[in-house]
Amino acid sequence: MRAVAYRHPGQIDQPNALLDLELPRPQPSGRDLLVAVQAVSVNPVDTKVRAGAAPFSGREERILGWDAAGTVEAVGPDVTRFKVGDAVFYAGDIARDGSNVEYQLVDERIVGHAPSTLSVAEAAALPLTAITAWETLFDRLRVQDRTEEKPATLLIIGGAGGVGSIAIQIARAGTDLTIIATASRPETADWVRSLGADHVIDHSGPMAPQIAALGLDAPRFVFSTTHTDRHLADIAELIAPQGRFALIDDPASLDIVGFKRKAVSVHWELMFTRSLFDTSDVAEQGKLLDEVAVLVDQGAIRTTLTQTLSPINAANLIAAHRQVETGSTRGKIVLEGWGDD
């Protein structure tokens, strides 16, 4: 089977940063599905792993990819939620081979039934970011908790990126929050408005005075998707007393002393935690993907796909990695198909 992988971690411009390979086709066991992958998306985690992580022990290559849509080709003996031929979408498990491969093994508990109203490319843009946004909003920030009669305010920093783009929509569909999103360019500001943001501010300048100028209550919930260390003092100034703050990026250090005066709680989200540690609630990821699919099919959420490359191969994945590494991508980049006639 065809696959795209790397043998030595490093920068995307190094020779053989990603390689087209032929590998044996795996066979499912236990609760695994064997999925015929039809489309994949590229996320910042792909670039981070490629730059710094060696192949798994005993392996010559490592396969990236934590977003996929495809069709169930075969099932393990313990599978109960899916059958051969089902259309699925999922992010997968960072401790296993990724989705940049024709046939991938993935635990059924972290797989969702794909939305019936989307193409495979449109569906592949959603899983990792939807899980990240959903878990951040409902499991970490617990935005559904009400302490006042009027709706609270949610600030999403980096609203036009992959996670921000879906977080705006999930918050719009599932809560009565007033949503402020940040964007620094006219095209990204238009994008977040189209997704459901009530207000847009520019994160390239101080945010606290911009929020004050809106005449709203201080945000009770702040979700930072990028450059958290640059914005931390600003966040401490603008967040409401007893507010909740969540982040998903990887600052080298994070001094949260500035939050003490307001008794702000801090939450870190990693959507791979459940599968990495096989937590008792790992199946919640499959359930929430099914809920996302329902919201998509009802028209409450739309895909965040903004660019499609074809076919899935090393050259196109290298191009996608380069673009994601700029940190200015709007929505998601998806690769579709394997070049078959």
User: pLDDT by residue (tens digit) across 111-136?
Assistant: 999 999 999 999 999 999 999 999 99
d(CA 222, CA 312): 36
**pLDDT of 32 above 60:** yes
**pLDDT of 229 above 90:** yes
Sign, CA dihedral 276-278-280-281, equals positive
Percent of the chain residues topping a pLDDT of 70: 99
Residue 70: partners with Cβ closer than 8 Å, 6 or more residues away: 35, 36, 37, 38, 39, 87, 88, 104, 120
pLDDT of 205 reads 94
**pTM of the shown model:** 0.95
pLDDT of 80 reads 98
| Strand, coil or helix: 87 | strand
pLDDT of 134 reads 98
pLDDT of 148 reads 72
pLDDT of 341 reads 56
Query: Please, which residues bridge with residue 156 across strands?
Result: 181, 223
Adjacency order of strands within the sheet including 62-63: 19-22, 2-6, 62-63
